Amino acid sequence: MEKLQYISQGFTIEDQELNIRKALDNGTQWIQVRWKNAPEQEFIRLCEISKKLCSDYHSVCIINDHVQIAKDLDADGVHLGLKDTSIETARHMLGNHKTIGGTANTISDVLQRMNEPCDYIGLGPLRFTSTKEQLSPILGFEGYQKIIENLKERSLEIPKIFAIGGVVLNDIELLQQIGIYGVAVSGQITNQPSVISEFKTVLQL
């Protein structure tokens, strides 16, 4: 599984498509199509465009929240928030070969996600981010450390956890030392797509 995921950003379908193209051009191999509050038909269109682009670039394309759209388009999977469709329902709809990620904010969320089970956990937010409305309580590095330590105390295998929420390049080394598997990045890659090569170097991709 890739260790770097780009979460798409943009207020219009044109912005979204441009940002996804730039991320792919600069070497991203995993896109999560995320466009909150979008008109449904435009979101479906964006997902269709993204799926084709990712196929052309041999990259993974997952859809945020919308399991039915992911199924209809044969996308590579979905990412689900805690209040979205259940992992069990999504797995039943999409099958075992698709990637399903789940959001978490606390140790109990992480244990729930491990139990469900999803393929990776998006744990965050690391810090404040303006790209997400109704932000969950901020974890900081200390929050990640406590959750990983808690899992170790329970003698549980550490799942593939992705740090999410305001993550930037300089955070990677410390996150990896803590035991975080990968990162999901939106703002820094949107603003500076060329940074992707540096992310990949630090993540040793």
Identify each DSSP E strand in the chain by its residue range: 4-7, 30-33, 60-64, 77-80, 99-104, 120-123, 161-164, 182-185
pLDDT average, residue stretch 94-106: 97
Q: Are 63 and 76 in contact (CB under 8 A)?
A: no
Q: What is the pLDDT of residue 132?
A: 61
pTM greater than the 0.75 cutoff: yes
Residue 164 tokens, joined? 């999410």
Q: What is the pLDDT of residue 133?
A: 67
Is pLDDT at 205 greater than 70 in this prediction?
A: no
pLDDT average, residue stretch 160-188: 97
Helices of type H across 95-168? 107-115, 140-153
Helix axis angle for 107-115 and 140-153, nearest 10°, is 50
Q: Using CA atoms, how far apart are residues 64 and 100, in angstroms rounded to an integer? A: 10
Backbone dihedral region of 69: left (phi > 0), alpha (psi from -120 to 50 degrees) or beta?
Answer: alpha
Q: Using CA atoms, how far apart are residues 70 and 31, in angstroms rounded to an integer? A: 13
pLDDT average, residue stretch 119-141: 87
Place of tokens 């709809």: 93
Q: Are 70 and 77 in contact (CB under 8 A)?
A: yes
pLDDT, mean over the chain: 96
Q: What is the pLDDT of residues 27-69, one digit of tens each?
A: 999 999 999 999 999 999 999 999 999 999 999 999 999 999 9
CATH of 4-202, one of 3.30.420.40, 3.90.1150.10, 3.40.50.300, 3.20.20.70: 3.20.20.70
| Confidence band for 131, pLDDT divided at 50, 70 and 90 | low
Is pLDDT at 134 greater than 80 in this prediction?
A: no
Is pLDDT at 136 greater than 90 in this prediction?
A: no
Query: Based on the number of CB atoms within 10 Å of its own CB, is 124 exposed (0-12), middle (13-18) or buried (19 or more)?
Result: buried
Q: Within the chain, what is the greatest distance between any pair of CA atoms?
A: 48
